[in-house]
Amino acid sequence: MALTVHSSWMQKGGNSEAEYEDAFGFRGGTQWVAPRNQSWCRVAIADGATDSWCSGLWAGLLVEEAIQGKLKPSQFIDRFEQLREQWRRDAIPPDLSWVSEEKARGGGHAAVLSVSVRPQDSSGSPGTWSAWAIGDCCLFHLRSGQLVTSLPYTRPEEFTCSPELLGTATPKDEISLLVSQFEGTWLPGDEFLLATDAMALWCLKQVNDEAKYDKAILDEATRPQSRNKFADWVTQARESGQLRNDDTTLVSLQTG
């Protein structure tokens, strides 16, 4: 399987890079071509909720666990308490002011999406992919100008100001109710896009009622490019009202 992975991101306008609260991760560096003997690839993104405590830290912990394969729907309950304790150690120092302690008690919250891609087998049958998601980070499976599938959202109007999120204070018995799981097959030449909510909403708006999209317009934003070029595109899209001013993260997987 030849798989090229590329990431692009930009913090919310008016914020510094240190205030970026999304997270993403995958094996290798910024751009990676999977070796032919690689049996799978796992990619994850997360979007920390701005109004919660140390949400960027929580998003990063979720992504790291997901790409290591330690955080799966079947393992959430086992891993959740350990992750929450790790977040507490880093996010709530003993000398925290009472005002901050009150906010910290509400915990950190994030949307998260994890995708695993497996290659074609020796018989030439299609490759497979599987994904799980909580909240409004989205996956788009593209093929020759056609949207094969999008998940967990399929329409722009599904985006709201209060999506389901995984929080450090979420009761463990409620976690399984938040997780959506998906699976499918892919063919060489297909592309997968993983996007946090602002970018995901923009992508869905490019798709018409027949699940087709203008490839040139989508490529302008999603094809691998330098950080400066992506930042320029994001800035222009925000200024024109096409893209909401929020942390913006995109990971593309191109198969071959």
36-62 pLDDT tens trace: 555 578 899 999 998 898 999 999 999
State how far the Cα of 206 lies from the Cα of 64, in Å rounded to an integer. Answer: 31
- Interval 135-161 mean pLDDT: 96
Q: What is the model's pLDDT at position 37?
A: 52
Cβ neighbors of 69 (< 8 A, separation 6 or more) are 42
State how far the Cα of 256 lies from the Cα of 235, in Å rounded to an integer. Answer: 31
Nearest to 202 by CA among 143, 144, 165, 248: 248
* pLDDT of 98 strictly over 60: no
Proportion of the chain above pLDDT 90, given as a percent: 59
Q: What token pair was written down for 26? A: 């995958």
- Interval 87-112 mean pLDDT: 79
CATH architecture of 3-255: 4-Layer Sandwich (3.60)
Query: Which comes out higher in pLDDT, residue 73 or 184?
Result: 184
Q: What is the model's pLDDT at position 68?
A: 85
Nearest to 175 by CA among 132, 205, 117: 132
What is the chain's mean pLDDT, rounded? 88
State how far the Cα of 2 lies from the Cα of 207, in Å rounded to an integer. Answer: 27
State how far the Cα of 153 lies from the Cα of 159, in Å rounded to an integer. Answer: 8
Comparing 9-18, 120-129, 181-190, the range with the smallest average pLDDT is 120-129
Q: To 10 degrees, the CA torsion angle through 87, 89, 90, 96?
A: 120
Cβ neighbors of 2 (< 8 A, separation 6 or more) are 33, 34, 36, 255, 256
Q: What is the model's pLDDT at position 60?
A: 96
